[in-house]
Structure 1
Amino acid sequence: MIHNDSKLGRRIALLRKEKGYTQEKVGDLLKVTPQAISKWEQGNALPDTLLLPPLARLFGVSIDYLLTGESLAGKAGPYDGEYRKENFYWGIQPSELAGQIIDILQGDTANKRLLDIGSGEGRDAIYFAKCGLQVDALELSAPGVEKIKRYSRLSGYAVNVIHADMIGYDLAEEYDVIYSHGSLQFLPPAERRKHFDKYKQYTKTGGLNAHLIFVEKPFIKLAPDWERNEFFFSSGDLAGYYHDWEILRCGEEIIDCDSAGIPHRHAVNCILARKI
């Protein structure tokens, strides 16, 4: 149950103004009246719990942050230090997997929505927006969020940045594409099945899921920037999660990497699958 707290109303008003939205605009997007928005902001009423996921997504925050204003306070992302630097840690060239998605769509991107999970500094999110997709870029790191926004302004391509942790993030609407590139290793193994089921559930029929994950191999040394809260996948995991979809691509390879300034290798598994 949501407690009647005037702080929630003030937070809704502040987030709305930060986005540059009027009460009428928010009401239109949520399919409620502007008077309802006004009552929330004045602390005279509360939004229905079913409206919390779309309201949080509209403002680019987590539901916890919407309710408390504190959920991400002090919660650092693993690359915060790198993302604060002027240069782009991951570069700005889109990934090969991102390009493959665009090739499959064959220019049919109008009114299609994509969720980029663990967007980092936004290299793929901006590329997808440039190709005509409506992009939600989900990122935990506060410096990463600011980097995506800056890159978006510089490039002239708009993305909706969501400052939230992928773990437990509630999807509210269906997407045409759900995508991740080297971020899902932060999902604890016990949480993975639930998250992949959610990604599949919130993908439109005919839509795509595409992921690049890190696979444990005994002959590959641990990367120098590997974090304690990162967990390898095993070969075959992705194919198992998408056994009931049309798998367009699924394969493993060894790639070279120089993140952290130290050359090393990764074993990765990519999948590109279509919901049938």
Structure 2
Amino acid sequence: MSIGETITRKRKALGMTQKELAEKLSVSFQAVSKWETDASHPDVELLTALAEVLGTTVDALVGYRSPILADYEERYQTSEYYWGIEPNRLCYDILRLRPPVKPYKVLDIGCGEGKDAVFLARNGYRVSAIDIAENGLEKGRILAERCSTRVDFFKADISDYRLTEKYDIILSSGVFHFLRPDIREEVTDNLKKYTNDGGLHALNVFVSKPYLKRSGEKKGNRYEWKSGELFTYYHDWHMHRIDEELFDCNSGGIPHQHCMDIMVAEKKVK
């Protein structure tokens, strides 16, 4: 996606006109129009302010392809499904607590190759799913077609994507360790704000334990959480599930272990 396309998408997601964006940056709306058609590009001095106004990062704005993205794009290149196609146990928590007696609106954040999103869609939920890796999204679309169901897959980076419409259920598994500690509260506040009363968040996060056997992989842009940290952001919600689990993992071909905090919380009606 070009910088012009990125500016257009993020501006429209915020419900902002070209004129409003221009006024915030003290430039002409003609300049914004030229950026969005890629007839010209913003001056370097404007990039930080532009990213801030659009609720994103300079890296995302200019299309920087991180090593993390390259890693996952490579993992998802094969015809096989890297994570398999069996749904995460959080999906069964959702089914138990919010059986699809109506088409609940679900967002799967960091959907990977789409196994959880497709499972929920097959069971009657109205599902949207985001991920940063286009190869994963494409495999999700293939899986949805194979299962004769529909999921709205789209590309977004959890670090700069912010909700502007409400959902009934938000699911995210094995993704929040890509959130820097300094933006975690902002991100979770946004997710909570755009969740309907009575809605659910079904989340898990990797937590740091010094005694665990590590994989030897470089951490790069991965930030483990502290035990219980996730739960503190939901102190004002009703907890249906709070767990901490150790498990073995062989991703990357090197046996290692993880610890994960698991939470299912409900936004109570005021």
Query: How does 1:186-225 map onto structure 2 within 5 Å?
Result: 186-225=178-217
In structure 2, distance between residues paired with 1:90 and 1:208: 24
Name the SS for the 1:50 alignment partner. coil
Determine whether 1:91 maps to 2:84: yes
The aligned amino acid for 2:65 is K
Aligned to 2:240: 248
Aligned residue runs from structure 1 range 1-276, under 5 A: 50=15, 67=36, 71=61, 73=63, 75-76=65-66, 77=69, 78-108=71-101, 110-225=102-217, 227-276=219-268
Shift of residue 127 of structure 1? 0.6
The one-letter amino acid paired with 1:100 is D
Residues 215, 256 of structure 2: 8 Å contact kept: yes
- CA shift at 1:112, angstroms? 1.1
Unpaired segments ≥5 residues, structure 1? 1-6, 13-45, 53-65
| Post-superposition offset of 1:192 | 0.4
Secondary structure in structure 2 of the residue aligned to 1:79: helix
C-alpha contact (below 8 Å) 2:141/2:153 kept by paired residues: yes
Output one character per residue of 1:194-225: Cα deviation in whole Å (capped at 9) or x when no partner: 00001110110000011111000011133345
TM-score by length of 2: 0.75
RMSD over aligned Cα atoms? 2.5
Question: Structure 2 vs 1, CA of residues 51 and 99 (structure 1 numbering), >3 Å: closer, same or farther?
Answer: farther
Aligned residues: 221
- Using the aligned pairs only, state the percent identity: 34
* Alignment deviations for residues 44-92 of structure 1 (CA, whole Å, 9 cap, x no partner): xx9796168xxxxxxxxxxxxx957894745252411110111111000
Q: Which runs of 4+ in 1 moved over 6 A?
A: none
Alpha-carbon distance in 2 for matches of 1:47, 1:195: 20
CA distance in 1, matches of 2:124, 2:86: 17
The separation in 2 between residues aligned to 1:74 and 1:246, in whole angstroms, is 39
The amino acid across from 2:135 in the alignment is P
Q: 1:48 to 1:90 in 2, by over 3 A?
A: closer
